[in-house]
Structure 1
Amino acid sequence: MSFQPSTVPLGESELSEAIARGEIVAHFQPQVDLRTGDIVAVETLSRWDHPHRGVIGPGEFIPLAERTGLIHRMGAHMIEQGCRVAAGWIGRGRPVEVSINVSATQLSAPLFFADVISSLERTRLPPGLLTLEITESQAITDIRPVRDHLGQLRDRGVGISIDDFGTGYSSIERLLRLGATELKLDRTLIQAHSDSTLALVAAVVSLVHERGIRVVAEGIETADHLEQTRRLGCDRAQGFLFAPPTPSTRLEQVFSANRPADWIAAESL
């Protein structure tokens, strides 16, 4: 889904009221295991279901939320939604992992980590089914306390993912310093046509695999992109080839339409 930016800027009070009214909703995009072809996880993505403008993409309101501090309320709401949906799927006999985006702004607040644990306890979601994706919108200014808090969550079983690797503040050093368990390759790397770029990406994948870190490829839109992820040695893939982000009420259709045989490498059949 593409979003058309509004010509009228969104305001802090408007966003605050939207959070209070529950207009910030979670959509979910599946991740496919490239070995089995099964959907094994979903990423939680925020959308603003605006009563007059329709669905607004995160690019319009997340920067505003970060500037004004509303990201803390919004983030807590998204974590609760993600955990609750994932816990509900356990009850349906389909345990899937859920990834939830968090920003450097959220990580700077000590209460954030307590809120994550509280959400896990309230929803009874096993910590091993939750992954926090650290986005690249801002740099983490004081990495030591963040690393320590993330380590405590990781010790409970929560996964730590570095999102959009290849852009912004991403680096292998940052990946290791934060104790990440997962690396997500940005779509620009997967869709690259340069042999030198692809060779470098393959080397990065091999390096992080040696550290026991899982690799997820984003932006898989075509069969060629899917084949690229296999050549690079990725573990999982995510993109419109499998399914677009969708409301939780339609996840059943997404799971039912999953065709594992279509996503398994021919040599493994």
Structure 2
Amino acid sequence: MVRSDDRRALLERDLPGAARRGEIIALFQPQFSLETGEVVGAEALSRWIHPRFGLIAPGEFIPMAERLGLVGEIGDVMLRLGAHAARDWQDQGRPIEVAVNVSILQLRTAAIVDTIAGLLDEFSLAPRLLTLEVTETTPVTQVPEAIGVVHRLSGLGVNISVDDFGAAYASREQVIALQAIELKVDQSLVQETQGARGEDLARAVEFGKAQGMRLVAEGIETEAQLARVRALHCDRGQGYLLSRPTTKADVDSLLVSAGGFRAEE
């Protein structure tokens, strides 16, 4: 059995080049319309297939990537995998939006604009089918160059989403600065249906609606949580109750079968 310190050291040794070796893959977590119950999108979630330790979740290797300066390399792979999946669903006649996380570190330079413009052209992908979820460990308002880059990305026609609203640095100030069209309400608000956090959920939804934004409730795990976000008129939902992250092939099957959840009141 490998000690945790030894495992960490081994992973940090092996992470450089993992993207180049094809060890970074994407799983997809479907997003559902809370009105119709249909699949309307999917979030591309990174996983690392380590040759020794197997499947590794992003919570373990993304912080390493940030420390080692590998976020851009991994991010480029995820953008390509997300765009490729979106193009495939577009070509199947089942166009759904694919969301890919981008960090503030990726948004510090305009290179990402050229990367995404190139992918849209390469895959002949309708820009509206690609959503960029802005995630960060630093307030975006402290990185003014990132705001300009996001506005240039919006000019390409892709969707800009603010991830994890209600947690960390995802503030109202950030939402307004980014001119995002979508707000993803953090699971910490969605999963607490009573008390102060329950009220925070209602206020977050009210704020997003006032800004004319699309509201996505993430982390839905119980029927009570689903009922609450539907009662608050969130537009979309994702979470383990509806679907766990899965392979693209499984999402293909879900789309072919017109799968979803019962949306009746």
Q: TM-score, normalised by structure 1?
A: 0.90
| SS in structure 2 at match of 1:150 | helix
| SS in structure 2 at match of 1:240 | coil
Assess, with a 3 A threshold, how the Cα gap between structure 1 residues 11 and 163 changes in structure 2: closer, same or farther: same
Cα distance, 1:258 vs structure 2: 5.2
Cα distance, 1:25 vs structure 2: 0.3
Alpha-carbon distance between aligned partners in 2 of 1:255 and 1:116, rounded to the nearest angstrom: 26
| SS in structure 2 at match of 1:79 | helix
- Matched residue, 2:252: 252
Amino acid at match of 1:264: A
Show the 5 A alignment for 1:197-236: 197-236=197-236
Cα distance, 1:6 vs structure 2: 8.3
Cα distance, 1:80 vs structure 2: 0.6
Deviations 1:204-262 (A, max 9, x none): 312321221111000111211110111222110001112111122322223345544x3
- The 10-residue stretch of structure 1 (209-218 or 136-145) with the greater mean CA deviation from structure 2: 136-145
| SS in structure 2 at match of 1:246 | coil
Which consecutive unaligned segments of at least 5 residues does structure 2 have? none
- Matched residue, 2:7: 8
- The 10-residue stretch of structure 1 (246-255 or 6-15) with the greater mean CA deviation from structure 2: 6-15
Given that 2:189 and 2:197 are in contact with CA atoms closer than 8 Å, whether structure 1 keeps it comes out as: yes
Amino acid at match of 1:263: R
- Matched residue, 1:46: 46
Deviations 1:193-214 (A, max 9, x none): 4344323322331232122111
Deviations 1:113-143 (A, max 9, x none): 2111111111111111111001133333644
Given that 1:205 and 1:232 are in contact with CA atoms closer than 8 Å, whether structure 2 keeps it comes out as: yes
Alpha-carbon distance between aligned partners in 2 of 1:218 and 1:151, rounded to the nearest angstrom: 25
Alpha-carbon distance between aligned partners in 2 of 1:252 and 1:179, rounded to the nearest angstrom: 32
- Matched residue, 1:154: 154
Amino acid at match of 1:199: E
Given that 1:34 and 1:263 are in contact with CA atoms closer than 8 Å, whether structure 2 keeps it comes out as: no
Alpha-carbon distance between aligned partners in 2 of 1:127 and 1:140, rounded to the nearest angstrom: 23
- The 10-residue stretch of structure 1 (201-210 or 106-115) with the greater mean CA deviation from structure 2: 201-210
Given that 1:120 and 1:126 are in contact with CA atoms closer than 8 Å, whether structure 2 keeps it comes out as: yes
Alpha-carbon distance between aligned partners in 2 of 1:254 and 1:51, rounded to the nearest angstrom: 30
Alpha-carbon distance between aligned partners in 1 of 2:195 and 2:13, rounded to the nearest angstrom: 48
Alpha-carbon distance between aligned partners in 2 of 1:258 and 1:223, rounded to the nearest angstrom: 21
- Matched residue, 1:186: 186
Alpha-carbon distance between aligned partners in 2 of 1:13 and 1:123, rounded to the nearest angstrom: 34
Alpha-carbon distance between aligned partners in 1 of 2:92 and 2:254, rounded to the nearest angstrom: 14
Given that 2:39 and 2:259 are in contact with CA atoms closer than 8 Å, whether structure 1 keeps it comes out as: no
Assess, with a 3 A threshold, how the Cα gap between structure 1 residues 44 and 6 changes in structure 2: closer, same or farther: farther
Amino acid at match of 1:8: R
Q: TM-score, normalised by structure 2?
A: 0.92
Given that 1:190 and 1:217 are in contact with CA atoms closer than 8 Å, whether structure 2 keeps it comes out as: yes
Cα distance, 1:13 vs structure 2: 4.1
- For these two proteins, the number of residue pairs brought into alignment is 261
| SS in structure 2 at match of 1:16 | coil
Assess, with a 3 A threshold, how the Cα gap between structure 1 residues 141 and 176 changes in structure 2: closer, same or farther: closer
Report the identity percentage. 40
- The 10-residue stretch of structure 1 (143-152 or 46-55) with the greater mean CA deviation from structure 2: 143-152
Amino acid at match of 2:125: L
- Matched residue, 2:77: 77
Alpha-carbon distance between aligned partners in 2 of 1:81 and 1:6, rounded to the nearest angstrom: 31
Cα distance, 1:27 vs structure 2: 0.6
- Matched residue, 1:103: 103
Given that 1:217 and 1:238 are in contact with CA atoms closer than 8 Å, whether structure 2 keeps it comes out as: yes
C-alpha RMSD of the superposition = 1.9
Which consecutive unaligned segments of at least 5 residues does structure 1 have? none
